[in-house]
């Protein structure tokens, strides 16, 4: 039956050509209402195609095509195809829409880019899959489950103005009445073309059947390059040679195509004539459906997004996207001049590539029938010529793989296994490429995965490529898991062939010929036959193994991590396929090949120590393992320089040498091989670009620098890996004493580092120039007495007095001279940063001399320390223009008279201004053993500039402004006496620290005030009370001893003088106060001093933090304020015992507590810590007790009905309250439900701070209820009618537990009854259709009884407030949350009853178990007051 359009069409459509052509009227004035549909439903596997006859440029968008279940005879046509509903799939642009909503963003070719004459089609297959076609090329499955009866939909939208049906059915004869001359001409041309092609194909088949040689075609059919080509291509030799112009200046725009489409089984082969060694990448060869006569040639063919298959490097790209990462055994980027590249489209549609005559196998299974050959002269490729097998000079040499392998390794015959060309190939057990719709098979069919494992959980069934042999174990290694779904991997066997199986969503749905292990049970044909069989597969983790074996007696056994779980089934027939179901959490598995020593194993660390060292099968993405695991290479060495990390197949033993020989290097990149060891197992490592990016458990040699966890710990190691050449042997050994040694050509280079633990893997990074290495026969274990003798000292310079050096990594305006001891800024005033070549050692001074100054510039020299790890090979691109911009790592700088940390001023007026430096002045920097930074000017110590400086810091100097030239004058002495002195100092320091630790118990719990203080201060009460006698300032007091870490120092406010403004300040002093003359205010202390004033934090008088803690200016009598330095040297403030968080970081190691009795506050007393035996005087104790009792009475009088915070001090939300507020926002509850700033936190700290009772009373008559301890409450806004029904002070308070699913419904209605399954009426808080009085109210027996309780301990349990999980999408943290309501309950409307949970122990000590449940059915008796939130995993 001829395909036609239906008579009913869009309002602007006109049909012609016997309803085979449709055009949109007024196409330049209207862009829509151009929908047409097929006259009949689509036939399965028969495409409905149309050709674009006409386009206009007035609009955006173009043709849209799809299918719909709507009948064109009865439906009302929408203005566009995307307006269809009720089962409609439409391709628009490159997207797929279902019922007007996008389901696939990037599907295939972009329909908006099609030109006149191009075709687009749609087809439904017999299995209900929808396919779209562009120019006859199938774009792949777009949707599944398409109804059997669907009509084609065409929308002549936007630019598309006219289309004609392309009917490919045989015998079709369309009438041509009313056809325009253009259409008739096009139809005639198509018919003649098809007829010509048919005749050629028939003749070809006849000739082949007669055995006639068809290689030599007629002259007019000879393959040449098409005259239309890339903009830089020059054709010669009768268009059989193509050359890219300006090959040293341009690398692309070199695309050429054949002059005609390729025939089936016709070889298109070219020879590489000329290459240039300048660019990365090289020739790319492939096919395309695009006609060169009309193609707009791209810069490179891999930019094509439709109808194109290209081989690039060692991979296959389809429409610009990689479909095969490793194809064949050759890399096109490594071919040389004279090599040949060919391709053939087989008659079965398979595409094969040939390199030097050798078939590389199937590159693509589905190739369109009409294709042109394509060559892209890209990068290094400059000139190619088409070859003809009819040419007598055609080379016919084809090398075998074995021959090629012998050629590769012929230089080292003793180091490689002999390659046998006579070995019979064994069919390996692999995954079949046909699998479930959500699964994919990769890694040469050894690995199966679910690419979108976080988006889907089923349709992950994968079968083996062949049936299992008797006693053959089919085992897989779980490579990857996700935590999103329930359930996990399932494994078994099936009689169904993967070629015939209609893959189900999960294999347990199969009802015939299938045995599966799932969870802990075994299922046969979808029915559980063994409930509790073996280990639970749902609890397996990444790295575990699971397998199945059919034994010769027909029994089926399952294995978990190699352990037989026992007989799982009997009577299993032979010829079954292995099957895995990547269900739920299981995302990726790899087949364990027990005949391959490099096959995935559960744990590389469990491999026997006797096993020969090889490279592990898991490695970086740009590396490849060869020669049975003994050789590793970077195939695309000229195009990629990193991502080529390889590791040993097992951990190294003590004194075991792991040695490799360098076999290939490329002269293209900087840097070379890097070698080292790591504790990380290959299965657990996410391979980075280079191994020096790993920040834990890794030791590497990079160049001549020893790096630990990504940071340089030593420069100048005797072995420089950047200087090795081809043939050099590099060895790694961990000795039994824990030192790591490197070997060059068998010679020990000495200890590189010490304290390297057991169980390390060797690591080789094929970086930069190094492209291939192999393990040598010299690898093995050596006895201790056979080890080469070397110095035990890790750092042993040749001379006893070695000058410091500048690193070669420096700013772009820097020139380094004088053996790296002098540096000069050549131009400008910045970009002049230099670093020390090595980290600064303990108590070591790095000193420079000013050699040249230019007063044209302003500013000053910057000098300091940084944790940024620098070596001579570090790229200078990371260095900013100014040292003040070094903020990626911790950096301390002294500039002018200021000290800055990561660009922020932490100290002012520290030292004489560095702007005043003159020629001949000396400036030094030193990190003292106590972790402080000191500056020296002309030998004079300027004091502590900063504290808590870590180890392994580098000196950084910025020749900024006037200073243009400096020279190092310091040196590091390595004589034995100094080393002994340093060791002695280290031991002394350790002993001192131990003594201090032992003396910790003797440290007093209460520290008094120092005798040196402000002039208006009077100390009394044994040094525990301080009183400001006059004025409002000069009231500084300091502790008599330094503060110990984790020891709190607290003072209580004793008296306030409201005559003044502002109030007490508290903080720490970073130096001894013995001889210091205190200023009028602590804000005037410019030395090391951190103070908290009001709600801000100051360092040496400079504000460093705002909105911190309570406002100290609003403190009241009796409030207690404290400070503490924690283990990480952070200063913390405490208000009434509640931690307010970190006020400042990097507090000096030895600091004194400081209190400034300023303004209102004029008297404080030290509060003894818990356990202290000290106390103030007795009469003072009585006074304290009286004041405390008086304070409690005042606080109780001020307590409000809503339990608001007491006192005038504004307490900021604690961390628990902040987290609860975050959880509330994650639940998506609008803020409009709540009163602003009406949140109360009932965590233990906040409850203690407010001095509240645990139980309160409310209502008439009063009834007791508990405070919701451990919860956060958010007060809800009351409905407008609420005030007329209830008085908040007369109703009782209770708690109601709920679930997250009904929380929003309760909030929306304001009525707990609204979520009842048997709802008898609406809420009294909402407008009602019928009003009832108390006497006329109907019986509420149909309502569900609501259970409440006066205590949250009962309502907060799982039965009433179940716990649920909530994920923070930003931090990926999961919260365990409960929700409940605090409600007002009308007296007399509820019944009191016993608890119904069957518990025997008393739940709440204040309420008997017989009175825990308050129940009611009465509408309007419950009013929501607040939402309660509790988080249980903080």
Full DSSP string of 1277-1313: PPPTTGGGT--TTTSEEEEEE--HHHHHHHHHHT-GG
Q: Is the pLDDT of residue 804 over 80?
A: yes
- Burial label, 578 (beta-carbon count in 10 A; 0-12, 13-18, 19+): buried
Exposed, middle or buried, 1355 (CB in 10 Å: 0-12/13-18/19+)? Answer: buried
- 123-132, 833-842, 1240-1249, 1309-1318 — which one is most confidently predicted on average? 123-132
Distance between CA atoms of residues 108 and 131, nearest Å: 11
Nearest in space to 354 (alpha carbons), one of 336, 374, 340: 340
Q: How many angstroms separate the Cα of 115 from the Cα of each of 64, 156, 301?
A: 14, 13, 19
- Cα 208 to Cα 262: distance, rounded to the nearest angstrom: 17
| E-only strand ranges, 482-513 | 490-494
Q: According to the model, what pLDDT value does residue 187 have?
A: 53
From 1375, 1358, 1344, 1355, select the one nearest 1428 (Cα to Cα). 1355
C-alpha to C-alpha distance for 8 and 76, rounded to whole angstroms: 9
Residue with tokens 């200016």: 1113
Give one word for 281, left, alpha or beta, with left for phi > 0 and alpha for psi -120 to 50. left
| Contact indicator for 1213, 1238 with CB cutoff of 8 Å | no
- Tell me the pLDDT tens digit for each residue of 421-475: 334 455 789 999 999 999 999 887 889 999 888 888 999 999 999 999 888 999 9
Q: Residue 203: pLDDT above 80?
A: no
Number of H helices, E strands in the chain: 8, 92
1120-1125 and 1131-1135 beta bridge pairing:
antiparallel
Phi, psi at 1001, each rounded to 5°: -65, -25
Place of tokens 């790694």: 732
How does strand 241-244 pair with strand 381-386?
antiparallel
d(C-alpha 1121, C-alpha 1139), whole Å: 10
Q: Compute CA distances 860 → 28, 309, 832, 853, 914, whole Å.
A: 69, 62, 12, 11, 6
pLDDT of 1398 above 60: yes
Span 161-185, pLDDT tens digits: 999 998 765 444 433 333 344 444 4
Summarised one tens digit per residue, pLDDT across range 858-872 is 889 999 999 888 877
Q: What is the C-alpha to C-alpha distance for residues 447 and 477, in angstroms, rounded to an integer?
A: 9
Q: Is 699:771 a contact under the CB 8 Å cutoff?
A: no
List of residues 6+ apart from 320 with CB closer than 8 A: 302, 303, 304, 305, 308
Confidence class for position 1413, pLDDT limits 50, 70, 90: very high
Neighbours of 824 (CB within 10 A): 18
Is residue 697 within 8 Å of residue 769, measured between CB atoms? no
Tokens 């075994």, located at residue:
522
pLDDT at 798 over 50: no
Classified as helix, coil or strand, 943 is strand
Is the pLDDT reported for residue 1145 higher than 90?
no
How would residue 579 be classed by pLDDT, with cut points 50, 70 and 90? very high
pLDDT at 1175: 40
**pLDDT band, very low/low/confident/very high, at 384 (cuts 50, 70, 90):** very high
Q: Render pLDDT for 1259-1314 as a digit per residue (tens, 0 to 9).
A: 888 899 999 999 999 988 876 544 444 556 788 999 999 988 888 888 888 888 76
**Per-residue confidence (pLDDT) for residue 328, from 0 to 100:** 84
825 vs 643: CA distance, rounded Å: 37
**Structure token digits, residue 1224:** 């509330």
pTM: 0.31
Q: Which residue shows structure tokens 């004539």?
A: 273
Q: Please answer whether residues 481 and 568 qualify as being in contact, where contact means their C-beta atoms are separated by less than 8 angstroms.
A: no
Q: Can you give 401-442 as a three-state secondary structure string?
A: HHHHHHHHCCCCHHHCCCCCCCCCCCCCCCECCCCCCCCEEE
b or e along 406-441 (b: 16 or more beta carbons within 10 Å of the residue's beta carbon)? bebbeeeeebbeebeeeeeeeeebbbbebbbebbbb
Phi, psi of 172 (to 5 degrees): -75, 135
φ and ψ of 113, to 5 deg = -95, 0
**747-780, pLDDT tens digit by residue?**
899 999 988 988 899 999 999 899 999 998 777 7
3-class secondary structure, 1192: helix
The values of phi and psi at residue 344, to 5°, are: -140, 135
pLDDT, tens digit (0-9, with 9 covering 90-100), for 939-959: 888 888 888 888 889 999 999
pLDDT band (50, 70, 90) for residue 1326: very low
Give the containing element (helix H, strand E) for 983: helix 976-998
Confidence of residue 418 (pLDDT cuts 50, 70, 90): very low
* Burial class of 1243 by CB neighbour count within 10 A (0 to 12, 13 to 18, 19+): buried
Exposed / middle / buried, residue 112 (Cβ in 10 Å: 0-12, 13-18, 19+):
middle
The residue-averaged pLDDT of 582-603 equals 72
Rounded CA-CA distance 121/1058 in Å is 88
As given in the structure block, the two tokens for residue 400 are: 């075998």
The tokens of 114 are what?
């099609």
Residue 986 backbone dihedrals phi, psi, to 5 degrees = -65, -45
Q: Are 1107 and 1211 spatial neighbours (Cβ–Cβ below 8 Å)?
A: no
CA gap 1115, 1210 in Å, rounded: 9
The Cα–Cα gap between 1348 and 118 comes to 72
Q: Distance between CA 246 and CA 291 in Å, rounded?
A: 27
Q: What is the mean pLDDT of residues 1338-1353?
A: 74
Residue ranges of alpha helices (H) inside 757-815 are: none
CA–CA separation, 415 and 660 (whole Å):
11
| Backbone φ, ψ for residue 1247 (5° rounding) | -65, -40
Q: How far is CA 854 from CA 3, 284, 960, in A?
A: 88, 58, 11
Fill in the DSSP letter of residue 651.
P
Contact call for residues 238 and 224 (beta carbons, < 8 A)? yes
Report yes or no: 334 and 633 within 8 Å, Cβ to Cβ: no
Whole-Å CA distances, 183 to 117, 179, 1239:
11, 6, 76
- Tell me the CB-side half-sphere exposure of residue 523, using CA atoms within 13 A: 19
Q: What is the pLDDT of residue 1315?
A: 66
- Distance in angstroms (rounded) separating the CA atoms of residues 484 and 455: 9
Helix (H) or strand (E) holding 132: strand 130-134
- 663, pLDDT greater than 70: yes
Contact 536, 562 (CB under 8 A): no
pLDDT digits (tens, 9 = 90+) for 966-993: 999 887 643 333 343 444 444 444 444 4
| Inter-residue contact 953 to 867 (CB < 8 Å) | yes
First to last CA, the chain: 71
């Amino acid at each position: 039956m001829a395909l036609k359009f239906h008579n009913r069409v869009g309002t602007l459509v006109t049909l012609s050509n016997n309803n085979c052509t449709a055009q949109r009227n007024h196409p330049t004035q209207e862009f829509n209402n151009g929908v047409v549909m097929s006259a009949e439903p689509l036939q399965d596997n028969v495409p409905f195609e149309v050709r674009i006859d006409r386009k206009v440029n007035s609009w955006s968008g173009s043709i849209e095509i799809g299918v719909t279940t709507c009948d064109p005879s009865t439906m009302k046509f929408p203005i566009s195809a995307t307006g269809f509903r009720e089962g409609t799939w439409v391709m628009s642009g490159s997207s797929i829409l279902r019922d007007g909503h996008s389901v696939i963003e990037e599907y295939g070719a972009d329909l908006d880019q099609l030109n006149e004459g191009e075709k687009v089609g749609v087809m439904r297959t017999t299995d209900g899959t929808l396919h779209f076609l562009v120019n006859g090329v199938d774009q792949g499955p777009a949707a599944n489950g398409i109804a059997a009866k669907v009509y084609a939909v065409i929308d002549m939208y936007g630019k598309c103005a006219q289309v004609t049906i392309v009917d490919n059915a045989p015998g079709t004869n369309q009438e041509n009445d009313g056809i325009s001359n253009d259409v008739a001409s096009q139809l005639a041309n198509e018919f003649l073309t098809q007829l010509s092609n048919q005749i050629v194909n028939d003749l070809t088949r006849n000739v082949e059947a007669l055995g006639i040689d068809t290689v030599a075609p007629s002259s007019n059919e000879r393959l040449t390059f098409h005259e239309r080509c890339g903009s830089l291509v020059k054709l010669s030799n009768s268009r059989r040679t193509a050359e890219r112009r300006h090959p040293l200046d341009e690398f692309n725009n070199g695309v050429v195509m054949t002059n005609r489409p390729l025939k089936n089984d016709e070889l298109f082969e070219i020879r590489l004539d000329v290459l240039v060694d300048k660019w990365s990448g090289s020739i790319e060869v492939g096919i395309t459906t695009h006609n060169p006569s009309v193609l707009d040639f791209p810069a490179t063919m891999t930019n094509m997004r439709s109808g194109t298959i290209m081989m690039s490097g060692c991979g296959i790209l389809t429409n610009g996207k990689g479909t095969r990462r490793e194809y064949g055994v050759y890399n096109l980027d490594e071919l040389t001049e004279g090599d040949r590249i060919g391709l053939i489209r087989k008659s079965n549609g398979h595409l094969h590539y040939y390199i030097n005559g050798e078939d590389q196998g199937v590159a693509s299974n589905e190739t369109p029938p009409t294709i042109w050959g394509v060559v892209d002269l890209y990068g290094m490729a400059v000139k190619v010529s088409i070859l003809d097998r009819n040419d007598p000079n055609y080379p016919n040499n084809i090398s075998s793989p074995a021959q090629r392998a012998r050629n590769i390794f012929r230089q080292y015959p003793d180091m490689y296994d002999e390659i046998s060309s006579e070995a019979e190939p064994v069919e390996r057990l692999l995954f079949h490429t046909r699998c479930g719709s959500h699964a994919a098979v990769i890694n040469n069919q050894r690995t199966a995965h679910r690419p979108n494992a976080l988006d889907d959980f089923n349709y992950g069934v994968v079968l083996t490529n062949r049936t299992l042999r008797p006693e053959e174990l089919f085992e897989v290694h779980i490579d990857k898991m996700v935590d999103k779904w329930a359930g996990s991997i399932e494994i078994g066997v099936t009689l169904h062939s993967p070629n015939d199986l209609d893959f189900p969503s999960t294999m347990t749905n199969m009802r015939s010929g299938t045995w599966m292990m799932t969870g802990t049970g075994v299922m046969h044909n979808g029915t559980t036959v063994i409930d509790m069989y073996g280990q639970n597969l749902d609890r397996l983790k990444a790295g575990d193994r699971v397998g199945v074996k059919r034994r010769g007696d027909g029994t089926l056994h399952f294995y978990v991590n190699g352990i037989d779980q026992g007989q799982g089934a009997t009577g299993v027939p032979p010829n079954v396929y292995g099957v895995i179901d990547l269900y739920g959490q299981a995302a990726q598995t790899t087949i364990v090949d027990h005949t391959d020593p490099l096959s995935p194993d559960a744990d590389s660390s469990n491999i026997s120590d006797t096993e020969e060292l090889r490279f592990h099968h898991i490695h970086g993405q740009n590396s490849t393992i060869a020669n049975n695991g003994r050789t590793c290479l970077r195939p695309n060495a000229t195009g990629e320089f990193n991502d080529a990390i390889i590791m040993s197949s097992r951990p190294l033993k003590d004194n075991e040498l792991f040695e490799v020989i360098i076999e290939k290097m490329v002269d293209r990149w900087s840097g070379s091989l890097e070698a080292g060891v790591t504790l990380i197992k290959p299965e657990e490592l996410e391979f980075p670009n280079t191994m020096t990016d790993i920040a834990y458990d890794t030791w590497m040699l990079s160049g001549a620098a020893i790096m630990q966890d990504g940071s340089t710990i030593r420069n100048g190691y005797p072995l420089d890996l950047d200087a090795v050449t081809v043939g050099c042997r590099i060895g790694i050994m961990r000795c039994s004493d824990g030192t790591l040694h490197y070997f060059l050509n068998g010679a020990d280079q000495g200890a590189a580092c010490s304290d390297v633990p057991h169980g390390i893997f060797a690591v080789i990074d094929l970086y930069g120039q190094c492209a291939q290495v192999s393990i040598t026969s010299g690898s093995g274990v050596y006895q201790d007495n056979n080890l080469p003798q070397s110095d035990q000292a890790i750092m042993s310079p040749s001379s006893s007095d070695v000058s410091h050096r500048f690193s070669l990594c420096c700013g772009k305006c820097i020139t380094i001279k004088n053996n790296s001891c002098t540096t000069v800024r050549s131009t400008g005033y910045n970009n002049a940063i230099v670093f020390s070549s090595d980290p600064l050692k303990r108590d070591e001074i790095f000193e420079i001399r000013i050699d040249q100054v230019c007063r044209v510039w302003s500013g000053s020299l910057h000098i300091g320390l940084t944790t940024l790890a620098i070596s001579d090979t570090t790229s200078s691109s990371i260095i900013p223009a100014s040292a003040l911009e070094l903020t990626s790592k911790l950096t301390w700088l002294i500039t002018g008279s200021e000290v800055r940390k990561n660009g922020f001023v932490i100290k002012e007026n520290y030292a004489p201004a560095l702007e005043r430096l003159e020629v001949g002045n000396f400036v030094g920097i030193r990190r003292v053993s106590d972790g402080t930074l000191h500056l020296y000017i002309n030998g004079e110590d300027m004091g502590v500039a900063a504290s808590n400086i870590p180890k392994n810091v580098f000196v950084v100097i910025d020749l900024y402004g006037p200073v243009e030239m400096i020279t190092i004058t310091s040196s590091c002495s390595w004589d034995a006496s100094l080393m002994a002195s340093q060791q002695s100092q280290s031991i002394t320091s350790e002993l001192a620290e131990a003594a201090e630790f032992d003396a910790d118990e003797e440290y007093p719990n209460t520290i008094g005030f120092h005798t040196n203080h402000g002039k208006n201060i009077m100390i009394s009460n044994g040094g525990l009370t301080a009183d400001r006698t006059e004025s409002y300032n000069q009231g500084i007091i300091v502790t008599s001893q330094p503060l110990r870490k984790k020891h709190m120092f607290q003072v209580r406010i004793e008296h306030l003088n409201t005559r003044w403004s502002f109030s007490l300040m508290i903080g720490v002093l970073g130096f001894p106060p013995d001889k210091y003359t205190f200023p009028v205010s602590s804000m005037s202390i410019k030395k090391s001093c951190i103070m908290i004033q009001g709600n801000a934090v100051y360092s040496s008088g400079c504000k460093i933090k705002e909105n911190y803690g309570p406002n100290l200016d609003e403190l009241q009598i009796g409030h207690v304020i404290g400070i503490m330095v924690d283990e990480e040297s952070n200063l913390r403030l405490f208000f009434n015992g509640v931690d307010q968080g970190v006020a400042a970081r990097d507090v000096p190691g030895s600091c004194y507590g400081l209190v400034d009795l300023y303004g209102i506050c004029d008297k404080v007393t030290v509060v003894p810590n818990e356990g202290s035996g000290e106390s103030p005087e007795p009469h003072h104790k009585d006074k304290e007790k009286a004041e405390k009792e008086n304070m409690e009475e005042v606080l109780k009088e001020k307590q409000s009905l809503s339990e608001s915070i007491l006192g005038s001090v504004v307490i900021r939300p604690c961390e628990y309250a902040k987290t609860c507020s975050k959880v509330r926002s994650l639940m998506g509850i609008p803020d409009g439900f709540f009163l602003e700033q009406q949140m109360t936190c009932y965590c233990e700290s906040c409850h203690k701070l407010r001095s509240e009772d645990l139980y309160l009373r409310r209502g008439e008559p009063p009834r007791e209820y508990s405070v919701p301890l451990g919860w956060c409450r958010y007060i809800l806004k009351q409905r407008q009618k609420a005030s007329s029904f209830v008085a908040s002070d007369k109703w009782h308070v209770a708690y109601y537990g709920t679930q997250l699913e009904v929380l929003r419904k309760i909030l929306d209605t304001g009525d707990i009854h609204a979520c009842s399954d048997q709802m008898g009426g609406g809420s009294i808080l909402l407008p009602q259709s019928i009003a009832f009085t108390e006497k006329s109210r109907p019986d509420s027996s149909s309502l569900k009884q609501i259970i409440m309780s006066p205590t949250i301990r009962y309502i907060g349990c799982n039965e009433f407030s179940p716990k649920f999980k909530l994920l923070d999408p930003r931090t990926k943290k999961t919260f365990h949350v409960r929700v409940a309501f605090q409600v007002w309950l009308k007296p007399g409307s509820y019944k009191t009853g016993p608890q119904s949970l069957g518990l025997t122990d008393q739940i709440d000590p204040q309420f008997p178990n017989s009175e825990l449940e308050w129940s009611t059915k009465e509408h309007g008796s419950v009013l929501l007051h607040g939402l309660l939130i509790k988080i249980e995993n903080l």
